[in-house]
Amino acid sequence: MNQSKPFIITISRQIGSGGAYVGNLLAKKLNIYYADREILSKAAQELSVLETDIEHQEEKIQSFWESYFQIGMYGTDMYLNPTLIKPTTYELFITESKIIRHIASKQSAVIIGRCGFNILQKHSPRVSVFLHADVAFRSKRIQELHKVSEKEALAMIAKVDKERTQFIEEYWIIRSKPCHSFR
């Protein structure tokens, strides 16, 4: 795709609906960059932490108590090993937003999740899609991909759907501030 300004496709998705799969195929078909786990990798580098330390925080909101104890740790006078201090979910979100905007400014891409539809809402040209599927399809797919039982797959669907909904509400709906305005 040759255009003066990079063309962006953002894909929001339900777990098990095939968003990463479809996004990867689309990026290959259009011969453009595919951004998913690379966003996490770059964020981990910028935040000076391991990917494994922050991957569980993606597209989630920290509970009040997690935030409280994390802030409390910063306020202590005792020495804390820097590797014990993890970024907050908000810090991760801000870092990933910056990375997403950078990708969109440099090259055409398919960007998976992370509130990309809102971070790039003023980017043009852009297409945003939401991939969803019925629970039976999602459950079967999760069982096959993650080698889990039906009960575990259904629990994973309920948990991740709730977390992603809270994430979107926190960084888009409730604050009534578009994600792209956070700096």
- Give whole-number Cα distances, 95 to 29, 42, 71, 123, in Å: 29, 9, 19, 18
Contact 7, 152 (CB under 8 A): no
Tell which CATH classification among 1.10.10.10, 3.40.640.10, 3.30.70.1170, 3.40.50.300 matches the domain 8-181.
Answer: 3.40.50.300
Over residues 25-41, the pLDDT tens digits come to 999 999 999 999 999 99
Work out the pLDDT band at 47, boundaries 50, 70, 90: very high
Over residues 152-167, the pLDDT tens digits come to 999 999 999 999 988 8
